[in-house]
Structure 1
């Protein structure tokens, strides 16, 4: 544990605490977002449309986000995104129908500026030899705190209904976003070398998209192969992820709180395994760990549509939690290893943070 205490300080500690706050607020809404769309009058087709707006906005804004992280500063990007979250999540909370919610999702794309900044500052703040432990602790401790979050979300929905519960949760998410921004303003330390001279916003905009294309063309072979894996996994999971909770309720006939209990159990398994996974990731070849995880994940993903009842669904999904405990920190460590410090913001932007995880 001494090695973990050495990692958990400074920027790593601040980011970990920020993730804890998100686990207890914003992340509670994620498993039930599709049900919120349904409650606001959206059909199954609309659920897919609204969920597609987020990656659509990210696609256009990620290059700018990477440029901001590498030029304007990682910490400034994180703080700005946090304070922007206050009005955006309040709009989620007061949306009268799915159309306004869709507009809010599209507007929320501007908060993408935080993702390359977080990834870059985290990689900058950890030596290579402990990155596996670092990524493991940043994900496992918040997950441990947030183990009950899915159950709480499911319980509130069962108690108050989808619409009322989700509105309350988004108000809490707005408050949490402001709190995280304030903590970042006070405690995060910039890892980007001081920029000399004034920054021209128009030049930054042009250079960000130009540099984005240069970064993509200049990626080494290892990063290009990783990009291919990331594209395939993101596309395939994006087709199904918004409908897991809908399928669980409408076909498997699980109640919202039962789905919350399942996600709580998966979070528990994930949290228990992530710290020892970090040790393994620093000891063994990260590429092989990622390959093994992706291969193991195939069977439970294919089995989920055939699950029936609470216990069968839980047993089917447990292997996914085990896979994620190794996959997420291994992917983060591998990305950091292959990316030079001065390019991390733009490379993380090109890869959409570059994190592999199986969402449900």
Structure 2
């Protein structure tokens, strides 16, 4: 009993300082954000966007996001983490005003106004490399798997009922008005979270400052040079861990962020209300699955867990393409969630293990940039295939690519003898 209590105390010891502050802020806005996540593609479609337009909107967002990542990675290591995180959390919150105000009457610029909000949010996410770096800085190497699992599990524990609340809003006020209320909650939560970060976050690196005064062109050139330099200095295993997910992530992001909700509602016999129920069940399941995945990532080989994740997810994602009915769809999604939690905890922990602290902003930013760039053509392509060819085809392709990624991960990635702090 004492050993179990001591082990629990060791696990909970990471809940302090910046990591605790970030976790609290994720809790604050996760409840509101989970209100809109299951219904966002349906909401934008109700404002007049076709599946192809949805894909193009996602591509436009990703392209602008890439433009913000280049200076964001540079700023995270040169100017420090806190200032950009706090400022852009406020700015990101204001991007949701566009979603709230988007009209839905005939011939009105409904989805176009949402697109403006998406692009505004993409620019605000210049803070992502700094946020990723501060999270890694704040976790001890031997607890990183659990720490990254907690970033998903704890906020979602407070958001388990969110999809059900969203389903009630949609049922009572209709899809459009219900989602406007939900986006209002998202805006308020970001304002509160930004203020908490302003008051309690502490800087984790000593800012070096920019190298003299620079115009925009030189600033971008300097930022890109720093990112490329960090990748060149990376070990072979770190480079592999950055590039191998590019086989899977573009198609996966396009599916799960936009087209999977449409597919499930359109082709599996699931209603909008049932989709909200499924989303809540998945969040509740994630509480146990996420903690299990985090503990496994700290006790077992992180590389082997990644290989198993890719192999296990391949047949399951193919199964979703042919699923019918509530129980079958739910079971498949829960299996996919389990593999996703295992992959998330293991990959983020292994990335931190392999990346020196002084390079984390640039390396993590470069990784996110590469994934985002590769996602730009994926979203409109999947939208076209969904609308004009066969909506099941992207699921089949993702299954095949997952097996290829598993083989590459097994051959090219080695775990470090000594983990970076």
Residues 79, 209 of structure 2: 8 Å contact kept: no
Name 1:219's counterpart in structure 2. 234
> Which residue in 1 is equivalent to 2:406?
none
* 1:332 pairs with 2:339: no
Q: CA deviation at 1:291?
A: 0.9
Pairs within 5 Å for 1:184-203: 184-195=197-208, 200=213, 202=215
2:65 aligned to 58, 66, 74, which one? Answer: 58
Decide which of 108, 119, 129 is 2:121's aligned counterpart. 108
Tell me the secondary structure at the aligned position of residue 122 of structure 2.
helix
- Structure 2 Cα separation of the partners of residues 119 and 306 of structure 1: 36
Name the structure 2 match of 1:79. 86
Report if aligned partners of 1:93, 1:171 keep a CA contact under 8 Å in 2: yes
* Deviation, structure 1 residue 164: 0.9
Distance 1:207 1:154, change over 3 A: same
- The match for 1:39 is 46
In the alignment, structure 1 segments of 5+ residues that lack a partner are none
Which residue of 1 is the match for residue 190 of structure 2? 177
Q: Equivalents in 2 of 1:319, 1:354: separation in Å?
A: 28
Change (3 A) 1:145 1:319: same
Change (3 A) 1:348 1:15: same
Deviations 1:193-245 (A, max 9, x none): 14368874536443212212222333321122112222112112134221111
Helix, strand or coil at the partner of 1:146: coil
In structure 2, relative to structure 1, the CA distance for the partners of 1:82 and 1:199 (3 Å cut) is: farther
Aligned to 1:99: 112
Shift of residue 353, structure 1, vs aligned partner: 8.2
Residue deviations 1:51-104, cap 9 Å, x none? 222222222221111111111221111111111023211112112211121122
Is 1:156 the counterpart of 2:169? The answer is yes
Q: Which has the larger radius of gyration?
A: 2
| Distance in 1 of aligned mates of 2:167 and 2:323 | 20
2:161 partner SS: helix
SS of 1:7's equivalent?
coil
What is the deviation of 1:166? 1.5
1:265 aligns with 2:281: yes
CA contact (8 A) 2:79 2:210 kept: no
Q: Which residue of 2 aligns with 1:291?
A: 307
Determine if contact 1:136/1:275 at 8 Å carries over to the other structure: yes
Q: Secondary structure at the match of 2:368?
A: coil
| TM-score, reference length from structure 2 | 0.80
2:15 equivalent in structure 1: 8
CA contact (8 A) 1:116 1:345 kept: yes
* Partner SS state of residue 147, structure 1: coil
Is 2:82–2:203's contact at 8 Å kept on the other side of the alignment? yes
2:322 pairs with one of 298, 302, 306: 306
State yes or no: 1:232 paired with 2:247: yes
C-alpha deviation, 1:22, in angstroms: 2.1
Q: Pick the aligned partner of 2:131 from 110, 118, 142.
A: 118
Q: Which of 136, 143, 148 is equivalent to 1:130?
A: 143
| Mapped contact 2:268–2:323 kept (Cα < 8 A) | yes
Distance 1:353 1:264 in 2: 31
Confirm or deny: 8 A CA contact 1:348 1:354 kept in the other structure. no
1: distance between equivalents of 2:357 and 2:313?
32
- Rounded to whole Å, the distance in 2 between the matches of 1:144 and 1:346 is 31
- Structure 2: 5+ residue runs without aligned partners? 1-7, 104-109, 372-394, 399-421
Alpha-carbon separation, structure 2, partners of 1:10 and 1:353: 28
3-state SS in 2 of match to 1:129: helix
**Residue range with higher mean Cα deviation, 328-337 or 197-206:** 197-206
